[in-house]
Amino acid sequence: MDFISIDQLDKNEAKKEIDMLIPKLNAWSQEYYENDNPSVEDATYDKYYDQLLKIENKFPELIIDNSPSQKVGGKVNNDFNKVVHDIPMLSLGDVFSVEELKLFLDRLKKSQPLSEQYNCELKIDGLAISLIYKNGKLIQGSTRGNGQIGEDITNNLKTIKSIPKTLNKAIDIEVRGECYMPKSSFLALNEQRQAEGQAPFANPRNAAAGSLRQLDPSVTKKRNLSTFMYNVSNYNDIEADTQSGLLKELTELGFNVNQEFKVADKQTDIDQYINQYQDKRNDLPYEIDGIVIKENQLNLQSLIGNTIKVPKWAIAYKFPPEEVYTLIKDIEWTVGRTGVVTPTAVMNPVQLAGSTVSRASLHNFDYIKKKDIRINDTVKLYKAGDIIPEIESFDPSKRPNDSKKYIIPSECPSCGSDLVHLQDEVALRCINPKCPAQLYEQINHFASRNAMNIDGLGPKIINQLFEKKLVNDVASLYTLKFEDLIELEKFGEKSANNLLGSINDSKNNSLERLIFGLGIRNVGTKAARLIAEHFNNIENIINTNSQEIEEIDSIGHTIAESVFTYFNKETSKELINELRSNDVNLKYLSENNDNIVDNYFNQKTVVITGKLIDMKRSEISDWLIKHGANVTSTVSKKTDLLIVGKDAGSKLAKAKELSVTIWNENQFINEMNKY
């Protein structure tokens, strides 16, 4: 939208503009801050917000309490206890050009002539948090909320590895910073959500916010969040006298601090810093959306002061969004392991944010319907979080006259079965258990390392097995013969025998690996182990009900229903019978290992930490569990043994404090070899 020039507005016209802008901005703000599900790009919001500020600057008598210019962040979630910020958590003012940045620096210099240095920092796109420590111990963590009142999310923040529970000095301090989701975690999370039929997060910032607001801290822990801390509420708490010195002091205290900051003496240095990181932003493992420039002297920050919403001594330079237009040639639908059918736009190739883009996920049919995307549309493309190609909108002026709304597919593109739109899901699903596309993905998952661990059975080989009709489900892997494999491309006698040996070895896996390998919705490795351990064998699981499954500690209603539904299907029972007839183990081995009672590790609680050399952590954990040990991640009074590798940190210190038995890797291997 192109706005009317501010100079051309009289008071009545300005009032009409404000009446249009405020409801729209407040709705977008609610989507962003409270729902963690924005419907527009940040750049679109910024454009409308900037127009509002310009009008309010010219006509201050038109400013109302409900204006987003008078508020910080969003409402407080009533699901959490409220936290009153003794010193408000403010947001930052924004500029969008070098010219606007110069005006800000000129105003700063005019208001405070002693200002001579600026600290430049990366603007991490995450969620603002506060951490309060008493005598060096973390006692409370909260969100910014509306700036005055936030949400108590202490238990969730304690699951984040980069947040120290104990500082390196026993001081009282409130530290503020940003909680974010690394790009790798964001990609993995969205892949998982789409496989489960859930809507993907729009960007890493919203994924981080949604993860922090989970009522179950274990969900937050799985999301692999991280933090960068950059401020304190009260400078009396620290020794540093500059912002750059504060960042170094926070590092010494044990906080994770972004080390890419730079002290600048003049605007040319700032401009160079901006250009440097505008070029590097796509290569960073986290998302940034600009640069923050701060007065470096802390005493001058206090003298310069704040407005009701923003500090006057700092500004955020927002990177311009990189957008391109391209043509949608087709919409393809692919079937995943759990039957979710996902649409992808196939487009004319374009250069965007340092890479060639020719495909963009459309996520689900509701997404297509909401944005009214059609084949032969010219669309605006951007990268969500500088990672995933996303379609922002179509260009109405370039839509063909004979354009028609895209029709939802009714049949699976792989097997032709009817697609269903299950209740409470945004995804379309194929529920045919013999769907070839699903079977391919299921076998790939079944053979993976954390499942049946069939070494040498990768996607290319699975594809050949399907093409030659040698497999039709996971059980058929156990009927493969040497003469079948020797016919595969690039297969000789050695590779055929190796793969057969690996398939045969997998028959001896414990039940939890099989349960995970079956690909039951919502069932991960931990849930699979808990279920296998509780029921001991597959027959007990088949003959139980969802209520009994839910009674297992850490197993919730959703997982229990998924497991019960899966094993209650006739096709699943037939598959289990096929596996049984091929001598695949269907028992939990820890309960059937005669050596358990007599070994050192039985009934002991063990923690593993540090960098290991000869064995993987997962290998040690699996071995310990099979020999009756309880493997946990936290050292406590209940811990019997800590196995340490190189660079062991706080867990080693805690174990020494509690007089826990400590072994290095060699000591463990020597003991392990006795059994």
Active site positions, annotated: 123
The type of residue at 229 is: M
H or E stretch covering 631: strand 630-632
The type of residue at 574 is: E
Instruction: Sort residue 462 into left (φ over 0), alpha (ψ -120 to 50) or beta.
Output: alpha
Distance, in Å, from the CA atom of 407 to the CA atom of 391, rounded to the nearest integer, reads 19
Task: State the first-to-last Cα distance of the chain, in angstroms, to the nearest integer.
Answer: 72
Distance, in Å, from the CA atom of 231 to the CA atom of 475, rounded to the nearest integer, reads 57
Full DSSP string of 179-219: EE--HHHHHHHHHHHHHTTPPPPSSHHHHHHHHHT-SSHHH
Q: Which two tokens stand for residue 125?
A: 């796109």
Distance, in Å, from the CA atom of 446 to the CA atom of 444, rounded to the nearest integer, reads 6
User: What is the CA 46 to chain-centroid distance, rounded?
Assistant: 25
The type of residue at 269 is: D
Q: Which two tokens stand for residue 117?
A: 């240095």
- CA 389, 394, 398, 402 torsion-angle sign: positive
Place of tokens 């209650």: 568
Distance, in Å, from the CA atom of 279 to the CA atom of 293, rounded to the nearest integer, reads 18
Q: Are 176 and 205 in contact (CB under 8 A)?
A: no
DSSP class of residue 54 equals: H
Distance, in Å, from the CA atom of 149 to the CA atom of 169, rounded to the nearest integer, reads 28
Distance, in Å, from the CA atom of 545 to the CA atom of 564, rounded to the nearest integer, reads 6
Of 107, 119, 109, 92, nearest to 242 (Cα)? 119
Distance, in Å, from the CA atom of 314 to the CA atom of 302, rounded to the nearest integer, reads 12
Strand partners, 77: none
Distance, in Å, from the CA atom of 98 to the CA atom of 105, rounded to the nearest integer, reads 10
- Please give the torsion angle defined by the CA atoms of residues 170, 172, 177 and 179, in that order, rounded to the nearest 10 degrees: 70
Pairing status of strand 388-394 against strand 378-384: antiparallel
119 SS3 class: strand
Of 659, 675, 657, 668, nearest to 610 (Cα)? 668
Of 669, 653, 656, 538, nearest to 168 (Cα)? 653
**Exposure on the CB side of residue 234, measured as CA atoms within 13 A:** 11
Distance, in Å, from the CA atom of 13 to the CA atom of 117, rounded to the nearest integer, reads 42
Q: Are 564 and 549 in contact (CB under 8 A)?
A: yes
Full DSSP string of 364-375: SHHHHHHHT--T
- CA 157, 158, 159, 164 torsion-angle sign: positive
Distance, in Å, from the CA atom of 338 to the CA atom of 247, rounded to the nearest integer, reads 46
Pairing status of strand 340-352 against strand 605-609: unpaired
Q: Are 549 and 529 in contact (CB under 8 A)?
A: no
Q: Which two tokens stand for residue 127?
A: 């969620």
Of 328, 74, 91, nearest to 209 (Cα)? 74
Distance, in Å, from the CA atom of 206 to the CA atom of 35, rounded to the nearest integer, reads 9
